[in-house]
Amino acid sequence: MNLVFKKITTDDIAKLQQIAKDTFRETFGHHNTDAELAAYFNTAFSHETLTKEVLNPESQHYFAILDGTIAGYLKLNQGAAQTEQELENAFEVQRIYVLQAFQGQGLGKFLFEKALQLACETDCEWVWLGVWDQNYKAQRFYAKYQFERFGEHQFPVADKVDTDWLLRRSVASLQAQFGNK
Active site positions, annotated: 142
**CB-based contacts of 164, cutoff 8 Å, min separation 6:** 130, 131, 132, 133, 152, 153, 154, 155
The C-alpha atoms of residue 85 and residue 53 are separated, in whole angstroms, by 17
C-alpha distances (whole Å) from 87 to each of 60, 79, 83, 108, 129 are: 19, 10, 11, 25, 11
The C-alpha atoms of residue 27 and residue 25 are separated, in whole angstroms, by 5
- The DSSP secondary-structure symbol of 23 reads H
**CB-based contacts of 178, cutoff 8 Å, min separation 6:** 113, 116, 117, 119, 120
Name 62's bridge partners.
Answer: 7, 74
